[in-house]
């Protein structure tokens, strides 16, 4: 009898260790699907075809700068899971990047469990993760030393910086339909350097996600520019281009975006505060981005 209890005790300890290990497992923001010689345009078409075959809808794509394309994709799991939590719509799309670095073409994508936890979604998008891996491959997860699911769900970069549940609320309209129409019109006009890359409607909920391109000029406008910001923070050998594009969320009759101090930090949590390639180097970017987005959707310059 004592032998049975000893075996059960060992089994319980082993299971406890497995659970603890799972709880402490770290997640990284991006997955490198493949790398090697190739042509960017051809790789983009092959990537879109593979994604479509795997059941994804290609919502849109754009080239933020030379030799670089970012593709927004969605599927049933993403849209339905997004509907189950407040502002889950921020996770209604995953982003896939094709970029040429020297003589190498890299295909990477946002890591679904990482972003599901960062956006406090009701599930970790495991089916989406498996389908992305099957379609595009998996060499490694990258982009940070890693954070646990618990750390991601309460993440902020440092004291005084925003959490996920502290987004910018730009403007409130009379209805959801009016809000969506206003955002569509603002993006189509592009007067403030912000244009539409894709739109994803959350399943069964008055929530719409827009992926947006940002192009600025001049001493002030340049800080909301996709290329300038990325030239500072995306400097490692394996590029984190799937950070782009930025997001606007219409939730019921209100228009939101994550404040850039959260949105950039969650993609680049290991970025230093000071020095070269640091947050201080792009210290003017968060306000420039906020202002451009606010004006685009019909909000005020100082909307927060």
Confirm whether 15 is domain-assigned: no
The whole-number pLDDT of residue 193 equals 97
Between 48-62, 181-195, 270-284, the lowest mean confidence (pLDDT) is in 270-284
Per the structure block, which two tokens stand in for 289?
A: 């981005």
What tens digit of pLDDT does each residue of 241-273 get?
999 999 999 999 999 999 999 999 999 999 999
Specify whether the CB–CB gap between 99 and 105 falls below 8 A: yes
Confirm whether 9 is domain-assigned: no
The whole-number pLDDT of residue 297 equals 98
Q: What is the arrangement of strands in the sheet containing 254-257, beginning at the earlier edge strand?
A: 168-172, 254-257, 246-251, 207-214, 194-201
Confirm whether 198 is domain-assigned: yes
The whole-number pLDDT of residue 301 equals 80
The whole-number pLDDT of residue 3 equals 52
Per the structure block, which two tokens stand in for 101?
A: 């670095």
The whole-number pLDDT of residue 20 equals 42
Q: With a cut of 90, say whether residue 5 has pLDDT above it.
A: no
Per the structure block, which two tokens stand in for 100?
A: 């040429």
The whole-number pLDDT of residue 303 equals 58
The whole-number pLDDT of residue 12 equals 46
The whole-number pLDDT of residue 220 equals 75
Confirm whether 245 is domain-assigned: yes
Determine the angle formed by the axes of helices 40-53 and 126-136, rounding to 10 degrees: 130
- CATH number of the domain bearing residue 218: 3.30.310.70
Confirm whether 20 is domain-assigned: no
Q: With a cut of 50, say whether residue 1 has pLDDT above it.
A: no
What tens digit of pLDDT does each residue of 21-45 get?
444 699 999 999 999 999 999 999 9
Confirm whether 4 is domain-assigned: no
Q: With a cut of 60, say whether residue 15 has pLDDT above it.
A: no
Specify whether the CB–CB gap between 46 and 54 falls below 8 A: no
pTM value is 0.90
Task: Choose between 120 and 9: higher pLDDT.
Answer: 120
The whole-number pLDDT of residue 22 equals 45
Q: With a cut of 90, say whether residue 160 has pLDDT above it.
A: no
The whole-number pLDDT of residue 219 equals 79
Number of domains making up the chain: 1
Q: With a cut of 50, say whether residue 126 has pLDDT above it.
A: yes
Confirm whether 19 is domain-assigned: no
The average confidence (pLDDT) of the chain is: 92
Confirm whether 213 is domain-assigned: yes
The whole-number pLDDT of residue 228 equals 94
* Average of per-residue pLDDT across 210-232: 93
Q: With a cut of 90, say whether residue 4 has pLDDT above it.
A: no
* Average of per-residue pLDDT across 86-105: 97
* Average of per-residue pLDDT across 78-90: 98
Residues 6+ apart with CB under 8 A from 7: none
Specify whether the CB–CB gap between 96 and 107 falls below 8 A: yes
Containing structural domain, residue 238 = 27-296
The whole-number pLDDT of residue 239 equals 98
């Amino acid at each position: 009898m004592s032998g049975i209890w000893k075996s059960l005790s060992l089994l319980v300890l082993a299971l406890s260790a497995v659970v603890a290990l799972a709880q402490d497992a770290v997640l990284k923001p991006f997955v490198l699907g493949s790398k090697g010689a190739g042509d960017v345009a051809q790789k983009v078409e092959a990537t879109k075809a593979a994604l479509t075959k795997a059941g994804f809808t290609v919502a849109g794509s754009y080239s933020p700068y030379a030799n670089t394309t970012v593709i927004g994709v969605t599927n049933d799991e993403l849209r339905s899971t997004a509907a189950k939590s407040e502002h889950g719509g921020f996770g209604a799309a995953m982003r896939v990047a094709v970029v040429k670095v020297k003589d190498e073409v890299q295909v990477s994508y946002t890591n679904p469990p990482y972003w599901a936890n960062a956006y406090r979604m009701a599930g970790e998008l495991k089916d989406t993760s498996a389908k992305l891996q099957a379609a595009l491959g998996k060499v490694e997860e990258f982009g940070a030393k890693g954070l646990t699911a618990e750390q991601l769900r309460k993440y902020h970069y440092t004291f005084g910086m925003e959490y996920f549940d502290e987004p910018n609320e730009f403007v409130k309209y009379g209805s959801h339909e009016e809000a969506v129409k206003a955002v569509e019109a603002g993006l189509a006009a592009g007067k403030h350097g912000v244009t539409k890359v894709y739109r994803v409607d959350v399943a069964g909920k008055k929530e719409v996600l827009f992926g947006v391109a940002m192009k600025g000029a001049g001493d002030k406008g340049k800080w909301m520019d996709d290329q300038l910001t990325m030239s500072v923070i995306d400097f490692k050998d394996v590029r984190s281009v799937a950070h782009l594009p930025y997001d606007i969320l219409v939730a019921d009759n209100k228009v939101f975006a994550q404040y850039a101090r959260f949105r950039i930090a969650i993609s680049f949590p290991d970025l230093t505060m000071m020095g070269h390639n640091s947050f201080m180097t792009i210290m003017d970017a968060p306000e420039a981005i906020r202002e451009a987005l606010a004006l685009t959707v019909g909000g005020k310059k100082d909307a927060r």
